[in-house]
Structure formats: C-alpha cells, structure tokens
C-alpha cells in the first residue's frame, strides 16, 4: 500500500528564527497583538510504500533522523498519514 | 604537500582554493570529483565554498552523501587534515565532522563583505603561523553562516579551545555590530576535538594575494604546509 505522509519541520523552540520573528513583528504591526511567537519551517509531503500507516510513519521518522531534519536545530512532527 | 579540493555540483570556490594552494603557496593541488572514491594520496582535503546541490533541503545536507565524503570521513578519522570553507564548513557540520550547524543569517540577507576575525587559537595545524589575538581581514560571502549549537556543545568548544576564529571589530573587540550573521559566541570558525578538522565561514582562499587586498588568509595555508612537512 501507499501512504501519504505530511511532515512538518520547524526550527527548534528557543533558537532564533529570524523569518518567524519578522512575520511576528509584521503581524503585530497589523494589529494582531495576540500573536506570541511564530516559527517558520517546511512542510514535506512524502508518498511511501509500506504495509500499514505505522510502517510508513516509522520509515519517515528514520528519514528525519538521517537527513530530513537537522538534529541540532530542528524539530519534526508527522502531521498526517493518508492511505492512497 | 598535496592538497585535494573537492568539487561538488554547485561548488564555486574550488578553483580559488586550488589557486591559493598552487599560485600563492606554491604547493601541489589536485581536483577531486564528488563521485570519486579516491583521494589520490592527498595530505589535506579542502571542502570548498559554493552552493553544493543548490543548498537543497539545508546547506550541505546533500553533499554529505556524496560518494567521496566516505573517503573524506576516513581520512579525517585517520587524523588527516580537512579544511571546510563556507559551504565546506556547512558540509562538515552536516557530516558530523564538526559539531553544530549553520543557519540562515540573522538579518536574512546574503552578506558579502570583508570582516575582521580574531585568531583565538594558534596551537593548531591551521593557525600556527598567526599570533594569538591577531586581527585578520578576510571576506565573507554567505546567506547561511549563523553558527548554532546547544549550550553544552558551546561550553565544550570554549573550554577545549576549539573556537579558532571569532568575528570582531577592526580593534579586535567583540560586539554585536561586529558579528555579521548572528553566530553564537561570535564564532566564525571551529576545529574538532582532535584538531585535524577546521571549518570557517570566511574565505581565506580569497585573501592570499596582496595585489588584490589584504593577504591575511595566506598564513592559514602556510601553517598547513609547515604542519604537513613537520
């Protein structure tokens, strides 16, 4: 079976994210004072062959650890798993 | 001394590095192709500046998986000198040859300008020909040069004397204004614990010919030459 994995990779909390900070400042200027913090990362969509969703997810986690996310500066989360 | 300069798809300072070795230093340099599995018996490997693989995913992330990196890793593990300049520093961090990571500049801009560096360590094979505390003028040209590491790593780097170059003002003093990219601890270059791998964002290979400006980068290559011949 094939599964579509939605993967989010964001700068680790506490590290300076200048893009996120610029956007937060712009939102404040637009009168959205409620915004406390913005972090900007990337969203990857991977189509993966696996026996089941859990298998696809564990493969993507292994990919994150080896390549897709930098363990020093980024956090990742699997935002969704769809069976295709 | 025989130096190998690796060319990745997107490298653009490989010829400058090669010419720094051959023209300015008068040593031998060979071109190494990223798909090679042969370091051709070189004493020193240079990972040059540029935009390997178009900086896809993260700067240096894909180059780390180039075939030749396996040999470069083995060379480094044997204690062989490896110099990572700019993108080469990013690759060295991604490959685990050096700790930490290089993130987008704090002001989100590509910066190309001369900067001042302070030589923090001279008991290295890369800096023995400098004086401790010497202030150098060397150009930078990068968009992702903000050195970042966790607190424990920074403490170790500082404690073990692994911070080799720091951004300073012309007077040699540290300040927020003198740090061009927001690097933690004003770090411009670090070495590994063993001392045989150096990574730095500035371009010493672009500062080796007095006809083109300060030649403050030359002593780095002279230091290597002296260390290899010692």
ipTM of the complex: 0.87
Which pLDDT does position B229 carry in this prediction?
Answer: 87
- For chain A, list the domains and their CATH numbers: 2-83 (3.30.1280.10)
Query: What was the pLDDT predicted at B62?
Result: 94
Residues of B in contact with A73 (CB under 8 A): 101, 103, 148
- Identify whether the C-beta of residue B144 lies closer than 8 Å to the C-beta of residue B59: yes
| B86 flagged as catalytic | yes
pTM score of the predicted model: 0.95
Residues in B touching A65 (Cβ below 8 Å): none
- The pLDDT value recorded for residue B72 is 98
CB neighbourhood size of B119 (10 A): 24
B224: left (phi over 0), alpha (psi -120 to 50) or beta: alpha
Q: How confident is the model at residue A14 (pLDDT cuts 50, 70, 90)?
A: confident
A68 reaches B (C-beta below 8 A): yes
Distance CA B182, CA B168 (A): 12
Residues in chain A: 84
3-state secondary structure of A42: strand
| CB B20, CB B56: distance < 8 Å | no
> Which three-class secondary structure string do you get for chain A?
CEEEEEEEEEECCCCCCHHHHHHHHHHHHCCCCCCCCCCCCEEEEEEEECCCHHHHHHHHHHHHHHHHCCCCCEEEEEEEEEEC
**Residues of chain B below pLDDT 70:** none
The number of domains in chain B is: 1
Q: What is the CATH number of the domain that holds B142?
A: 3.40.50.880
| Structural domain boundaries enclosing B191 | 2-229
Residue A38 reports pLDDT greater than 90: yes
B48/chain A closest Cα distance in angstroms: 21
Mean pLDDT, chain A, whole residue set: 95
> Under 8 Å CB-to-CB from B138, ≥6 apart: which residues?
B114, B115, B117, B202, B203, B204, B206, B207, B214, B216, B217
Distance from the Cα of B145 to chain A's closest Cα (Å) equals 13
> pLDDT at position B230, please?
77
Listed by number, the residues of chain B in 188-227 with a beta carbon closer than 8 Å to a beta carbon of chain A are none
CA–CA separation, A19 and A16 (whole Å): 9
CA distances from B74 to B47, B83, B115, B194, B229 (A): 15, 14, 33, 14, 21
Question: Per the residue annotation, which of B34, B86, B120, B144 is the catalytic one?
Answer: B86
Contacts of B150 (CB under 8 A, 6+ apart): A72
Beta strands in A30-73 (DSSP E): 42-49
CA dihedral B50, B75, A63, B103 (to 10 degrees): -40
Given this model, what pLDDT does residue B133 score? 98
Instruction: Report pLDDT digits (tens) over B18-69.
Output: 999 999 999 999 999 999 999 999 999 999 999 999 999 999 999 999 999 9
């Amino acid at each position: 079976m094939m599964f579509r994995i939605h993967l989010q990779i964001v700068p680790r909390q506490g590290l300076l994210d200048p893009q996120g900070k610029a956007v937060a400042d712009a939102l404040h200027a637009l009168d959205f004072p409620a915004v406390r913090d913005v972090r900007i990362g990337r969203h990857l969509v991977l189509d993966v062959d696996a026996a089941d969703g859990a298998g696809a997810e564990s493969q993507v986690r292994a990919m994150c650890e080896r390549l897709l996310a930098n363990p020093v500066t980024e956090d990742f989360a699997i935002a969704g798993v769809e069976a295709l | 001394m025989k130096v190998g300069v690796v060319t990745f798809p997107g490298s653009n300072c490989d010829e400058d590095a090669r010419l720094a070795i051959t023209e300015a230093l008068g040593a031998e340099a060979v071109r190494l192709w990223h798909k090679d599995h042969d370091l051709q018996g070189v004493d020193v490997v240079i990972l040059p500046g540029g935009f390997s693989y178009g900086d896809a995913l993260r700067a240096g992330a894909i180059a780390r998986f180039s075939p030749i990196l396996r040999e470069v890793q083995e060379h480094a593990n044997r204690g062989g000198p490896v110099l990572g300049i700019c993108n080469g520093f990013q690759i060295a961090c991604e490959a685990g040859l050096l700790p930490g990571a290089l993130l987008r500049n704090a002001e989100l801009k590509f910066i190309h300008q001369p900067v001042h560096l302070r030589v923090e360590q001279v008991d290295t094979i890369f800096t023995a020909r400098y004086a401790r505390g010497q202030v150098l003028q060397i150009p930078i040209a990068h968009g992702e040069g903000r050195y970042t590491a966790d607190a424990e790593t920074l403490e170790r780097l500082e404690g073990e004397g692994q911070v080799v170059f720091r951004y300073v003002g012309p007077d040699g003093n540290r300040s927020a204004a003198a740090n061009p990219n927001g690097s933690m601890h004003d770090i411009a270059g670090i070495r590994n614990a063993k001392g045989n791998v150096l990574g730095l964002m500035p371009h010493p290979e672009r500062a080796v010919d007095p006809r083109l400006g300060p030649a403050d980068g030359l002593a780095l290559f002279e230091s290597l030459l002296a260390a290899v011949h010692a």
